[in-house]
Every structure is written in structure tokens, then in C-alpha cells.
Amino acid sequence: MGLPISQTLAPDGQLVAAHDFTTDDLRAFHRDLVLARRIDTEAFALQRHGELGLWPPMLGQEAAQIGSGRALAPDDFVFPSYREHAVAWCRGLDPALLLAIFRGTSLGGWDPSDHNIALPAIIIGAQTLHAVGYGIGLALEGKEDAVVAYFGDGATSQGDTNEAFAWAASYNAPVVFFCQNNHYAISVPLERQTRVPIAQRAAGFGFEGVRVDGNDVLAVHQVTTEALAKARAGGGPTLVEAITYRMGAHTTSDDPSRYRDPHEADEWAERDPLLRLRSLLERTDPGFADFDAEVQAEAEELGEHLRQVCGELPDPDLAELFEHVYDQIPPELVAQREEVRSWS
């Protein structure tokens, strides 16, 4: 029904469409996928050991995030949800900054202007409005940059997201709405949320919607690159629906066995984004084994770095909460700040 699903690399690692990626490009994607998964699994383990208060896993969604994240230009701006750990990696953030947020030792995380990525949005769909506002600002300033708003299928049921679609269409904003359709809004399955493909909704607002195999890093990169180029050229917004699957829980406080068939996850495991690219490289790249050994060693070093830095994260200075809201702090907040300081 509706729109076709773009695919370049089938689940068995066979190419089903032409591409322009070099061997070095494919190796770079493989490295990103492996390291992104290690960030995620290491953080999950840290939470289970009591080192993090919470963690929203992205297991299974790595290709959707790496493929789109690597399509971004340096001056493009990202508005993520709380699950875009691999996109943050693509933007150059030290994953330790993510750990600090979920350990509760950071009062913000990072300066968004340092890497052109906003802080994680916990309120579902709120970041879509922020992205559109930023995009309208870019257009008014005559800049040729683009904006990407990341969200899940559940966010498409939120009023904020639909308002963002309407504003983006009305102002022809240079925004790519990137929906990772992982089939569940916490426990609510996709079929309870929509009767048509998510990307098809864009037509009702007056802009283009496209669908892509979200576990195919090559196709995701190609589709996102095209959508970003269109946005930068004044072609307006695009809704990209990356069809993927949340292999793990919604967060570490969730138990997916209570609401979904375990055989469903087994079926999606056969479409693992890392395995399909590995299959292609093992078949076409004579030097892949040596390269992969280097990547696996790098992943071990990354895991060790995350374990070490997590335990060394300093407790926050709560008085800093008052320093980044007003240019000139009002007297009542000065009094509150001093009260907080008196607690230590």
C-alpha cells in the first residue's frame, strides 16, 4: 500500500540496487556501526550495574542513525530525541557526555553549538517544532543549511509533530523529518497508531514523504542525502520513514516480553544492520578481516573508556542551574541560588 521502500543492500548482504560507495566508504560505515553498537551495549550494561539511572537502547536501529548521520554536512543542525546515540557519535560527541545525562551528573550535557546537535528531547515530539523554528530562521537569514528532526513512530501521534509538519509545509522550511519507525511506541504497536504508512502522511500536509529500509545503511544514506540536498536548495521539507525495529526494550525500565511475541524479534534479528554490511564486505573486500580486527580492538578500547569515565563523572554543582537562564539573574533567583549553595 502506498509508497515504495528504498533498498540497496538486502538482509542477506546482496546488493539489489546500484550505489557509488567506495570500499573505504563501506569500511567507514562498518566501523561506525560496530562502535555505535558498543556504545549502546556498554551503556546498557552500566545501567544494569547501577552506574546509570536509565538508558534508552538503540539496538537494531544503528543503520538508520549512522546512514542519516553521515549524510549531514558540518553546518546542518540536528534536533534528536533521547535515542539518537549513534547520531551524536556522527556529530563528534564523546559518548561520555551521553552517560553524564543518564547518570544524572550533567545539568545539560553539552553546548549545542559545539557540534550542531541539540540536547536530547525527552518530551515526545517537542523537538520537531524546535527544528522547524530553527529551519525557518535559516531561511530568513538566507543560509543554505538544513535541519534534521529525529523521532520515532510514536511521535507521529503527538500534536506537536503534526503542528511541525503544518508549519514546515507553510513556510517551506529546510527540514528533514527523520522518523525511525521501530514498530512500537513503548508498548503500542504500529498498527494501533496508523492505518497508512507514516511517510504517506506527508502528502496531507503538502510535502514529500519517502520510505527506506532502515536497516540498510547504504539506502538510508542515499535517501537522507537527497532529502538534505533538496532542503538546502529551497525544495522544502521531506518526511523520511526509516523502517527498522527496536530489538531491545523501550528503556531499561521497560519489559517488552509483556507486550510482544519473542519470535518477532527473532525474525528481525535476521535483518540485523551490522550483519548485512559485514556479509557484503566479507564477500567483496579481500582485506576486510584485518580491518575488522582493528575495529573490534577499537571497540574494546571504547568500552573500556566508557566504563572508566562513567565512574569518574563528577557530581554536578546544583547552583549552576541558575547560571544559564537569564542574562542578568533576578534577585529572587539569586536568593534561591545562595540557598542551594548553603546546602553543601
Task: Enumerate the active-site residues.
Answer: 246, 250, 259
CA distance 98 to 142: 33
Phi then psi for residue 211, to 5 deg, are -120, 145
- Helix axis angle for 159-170 and 126-140, nearest 10°, is 20
Which residues sit opposite 184 in a β-bridge?
189
Q: C-alpha cell of 47?
A: 545501567
CA distance 242 to 139: 26
CA distance from start to end of the chain: 61
CA distance 229 to 73: 10
CA angle 244, 246, 249 (to 5 degrees): 175
Rg (CA), the chain: 21
Is the separation of the CB atoms in 144 and 116 below 8 Å? no
Residue with C-alpha cell 540498510?
216
CA distance 65 to 85: 8
